[in-house]
Amino acid sequence: MTDTDDSRLGITVLGSTGSIGRQTLDVVRAFPNHFRVVALAARGNIALLAEQAREFAPEIVAYTSDDPTTQAQAAELLPNALHGVDGLTAAATHPAVKTVVAATSGLIGLRPTLDAMRAGKTIALANKETLVMAGHLVMAEARAAGVAILPVDSEHSALWQCLHGERTAEVRRLLITASGGPLRRATLEEMRDVTVEQALAHPTWQMGQKITIDSATLVNKGLEVVEAHWLYDMPYDKIEVVVHPQSIIHSMVEFVDDSIKMQASLPSMHLPIQYALSYPTRLSREATALSHPLSWPAVGHLDFEAVDMARFPCLRLAYEAGRRGGTAPAVLVGADEQAVPLFLRGKIRLTDIAAILEDVLARHTVVDDPDLETVLAACSWAQDEVLRLHGEPTASHERSSL
Ligand code: NDP
Ligand code: MG
C-alpha cells in the first residue's frame, strides 16, 4: 500500500517507550484500520524501541541517548535509527504524519513540537512542560500555522469535551479534579518523613516516576492549571482545583447559569489518548482489548473535597508562577525537574521540593514575553541553581542541544 491510498491517520509517537507512548501504541493496536505509526522516538530504551519498530514497521525510528553502550546497542538492533534531537524533529515532521503525539518527559519535546506545528501537524499533547513553559509561544504558533493542539491529559480532555459547543463567555469556572495523590490524608509531619516508595504509590494512576512524584506534591495539578489557562484562554481566577479521590470525574465546567458539565470514565489514559487521535469521531471499543465501561452501582459514591493549600504549597506556587507569567513558569519547571530526582535519590525530603521551588522562584528576575531561547535559559538557570544549592555538579552541557 502506498501513502496515497492509505486513509489511516499517520502518527508519530515522541516518547514511545514511556507510559503515555506505550498506551498510545495500545490504541493503535486496538484500531489498526484507523491509525498507523509513521515514526517512533525515545531516549535510550533501545530494546523496547526495537520491539516496537518490529511490530509497527515505522518509517523513522529516532533516539537521543549519548551513552556509548546505548549507541552500540542501537547500532546492532536499530541500524537505521536517527540519533539526536534532529531525529525527533525528522520524526515529528515526516510528510506522512498527520498527528504528533508529544509524550516525551521533560523539555526535549518542546522544539520538535514547535517544528511539527510549523509543518502543519496536529499535536496530541501529553507533555506538560511544553505549554507551561512556553504557552504564549506555542499557542501563537498554533494560531499562525492553523493547527490544533488536542489534549491528551485526562483533565484537559475532560474540559475540552465539556466545552464542545459552548461559549467561553458563558463559562464561570473550570474545575480541575485532583485525586489528591498518595498523601491526600497525610499530615505535614507524615509528609516530611514519606519514603520514595510511599510517594510513588499513586492510588489511581500508573504513570512515569517524575509525574507520580509531581502528583504527590500537587506540582502536577499546578502545571495542569497553567496548561488549562493556555489551552482554553481562561484567566487563573476562573480555574479551580477540587479533590476527587476516585478519579472518575476527570474535570468539570461550570457555566453562568449554575449548570455544570462533567466528563466521567474509569481512570485510564487510553480513553483521552484515543479521543485525541480519533476526534471528532468516537470509536467504539466494544470489540477491543481496551473496552472498560463504567458501572455506576460498582462505583457507588463519588467524593469531593477542597485542597488544603497549607499541606500542598506547590499548588499555590504554580498559581503564583502562572499569574506572574513571563519566565516564572519555566523557572518552576526547571527547579522541579531537578528537585524531583534529588528526592528520588534520597538527597532531600519530599517537603523540601516546595521550599526549593519557592526559593529559586524568589531568586529569579522574571523576563516578560520571553522568546524561546530566554525561556530555555531561565529553565536551565533554575535547574543549575537547584543543583548548585545542593552541592551537585551542574549539567548545562547535557541540555545544550535543547
Ligand atoms: P515516562 O517517563 O513514562 O516516559 C517518558 C518518555 O519520554 C520515554 O519514552 C522516554 O524514552 C522519552 N524521553 C525522555 N527523555 C527523552 C529525551 N531526552 N529524548 C527522547 N525521548 C525522551 O513519562 P510519561 O509517559 O508518564 O509522561 C510523558 C509526558 O506526558 C510527561 O510530560 C508527563 O507529564 C505527561 N503526562 C503523562 C501522563 C501519564 O499518565 N503518564 C498523564 C498526562 C500527562 P526512554 O524510555 O527511552 O527513556
Ligand atoms: Mg492529569
Residues ≥6 apart with Cβ < 8 Å to 317: 222, 332, 354, 357, 358, 361
Q: Is residue 397 predicted with pLDDT exceeding 60? A: no
- The atom number, within ligand 1, closest to the CA of 220 reads 34
What residues line ligand 1, using a CB cutoff of 6 Å? 15-21, 41-45, 64, 103-106, 108, 126-128, 153, 205, 207-208, 211, 269
Write out pLDDT tens, residues 20-43.
999 999 999 999 999 999 999 999
Q: Which ligand is nearest to the CA of 250?
A: 2
Which H or E run includes 35? strand 35-42
- The mean of the pLDDT values for the chain is 95
Q: Is 178 helix (H, G, I), strand (E, B) or coil?
A: strand
Query: What was the pLDDT predicted at 400?
Result: 45
Q: Is residue 2 predicted with pLDDT exceeding 90? A: no
pLDDT band of 333, cuts 50, 70, 90:
very high
Query: What was the pLDDT predicted at 399?
Result: 57
Q: How many CA atoms lie within 13 A of 53 on its CB side?
A: 22
CA distances from 359 to 253, 324, 338, 364, 386 (A): 34, 16, 14, 9, 9
Task: Classify burial at 110, counting beta carbons within 10 Å of its beta carbon; exposed 0-12, middle 13-18, buried 19 or more.
Answer: buried
Q: Which stretch of 61-70, 176-185, 310-319, 390-399 has the lowest confidence by average pLDDT?
A: 390-399
Q: What are the structural domains of the chain?
A: 3-152 (3.40.50.720)
Which residue from 16, 20, 268 has its CB within 8 A of the most atoms of ligand 1, so it is best to mutate?
20
CA distances from 367 to 53, 107, 136, 197, 336 (A): 43, 19, 13, 38, 19
Query: What was the pLDDT predicted at 39?
Result: 98
Rounded to the nearest 5 degrees, what angle is found at the Cα of 214, between the Cα atoms of 210 and 217?
Answer: 145
Write out pLDDT tens, residues 236-261.
999 999 999 999 999 999 999 999 99
Q: Is residue 54 predicted with pLDDT exceeding 70? A: yes
Q: Is residue 401 predicted with pLDDT exceeding 80? A: no
Q: Is residue 402 predicted with pLDDT exceeding 60? A: no
Share of the chain above pLDDT 90, in %: 93
Q: Among 132-136, 208-212, 388-392, name the most confident range.
A: 132-136
Distance 43 CA to ligand 1 centre (A): 9
Q: Which amino acid is at 7?
A: S
Q: How many CA atoms lie within 13 A of 147 on its CB side?
A: 24
Which residue from 22, 85, 207, 273 has its CB within 8 A of the most atoms of ligand 1, so it is best to mutate?
207
Which residue from 43, 177, 274 has its CB within 8 A of the most atoms of ligand 1, so it is best to mutate?
43
* Residue (of 86, 9, 3) closest to 41 by Cα position: 86
Query: How many Å apart are CA 161 and CA 59, to the nearest integer?
Result: 33
Distance 105 CA to ligand 1 centre (A): 3
Write out pLDDT tens, residues 71-110.
999 999 999 999 999 999 999 999 999 999 999 998 899 9
User: Whose C-alpha lies nearest to ligand 1, atom 36?
Assistant: 126
Distance 78 CA to ligand 2 centre (A): 33
pLDDT band of 207, cuts 50, 70, 90:
confident
Query: What was the pLDDT predicted at 87?
Result: 97
Cell numbers of 215, please?
502528583
Torsion angle in degrees (nearest 10) through CA of 292, 294, 298, 299: 120
Q: Which protein residues have a CB closer than 5 Å to ligand 2 (ion)? A: 153, 155
User: Whose C-alpha lies nearest to ligand 1, atom 23?
Assistant: 208
Residues ≥6 apart with Cβ < 8 Å to 275: 157, 161, 282
Which residue from 104, 212, 224, 270 has its CB within 8 A of the most atoms of ligand 1, so it is best to mutate?
104
User: Whose C-alpha lies nearest to ligand 1, atom 16?
Assistant: 43
Q: Is residue 3 predicted with pLDDT exceeding 90? A: no
User: Whose C-alpha lies nearest to ligand 1, atom 17?
Assistant: 43
Query: What was the pLDDT predicted at 208?
Result: 85
Give the mean pLDDT of 302-322. 97
Q: Is residue 134 predicted with pLDDT exceeding 70? A: yes
Share of the chain above pLDDT 70, in %: 97
Query: How many Å apart are CA 108 and CA 117, to the nearest integer?
Result: 15
pLDDT band of 69, cuts 50, 70, 90:
very high
Give the mean pLDDT of 227-235. 98
Query: What was the pLDDT predicted at 1?
Result: 52
Give the mean pLDDT of 178-186. 93
Q: Which ligand is nearest to the CA of 202?
A: 1
Distance 156 CA to ligand 2 centre (A): 8
Task: Classify burial at 316, counting beta carbons within 10 Å of its beta carbon; exposed 0-12, middle 13-18, buried 19 or more.
Answer: middle
Q: Is residue 116 predicted with pLDDT exceeding 60? A: yes
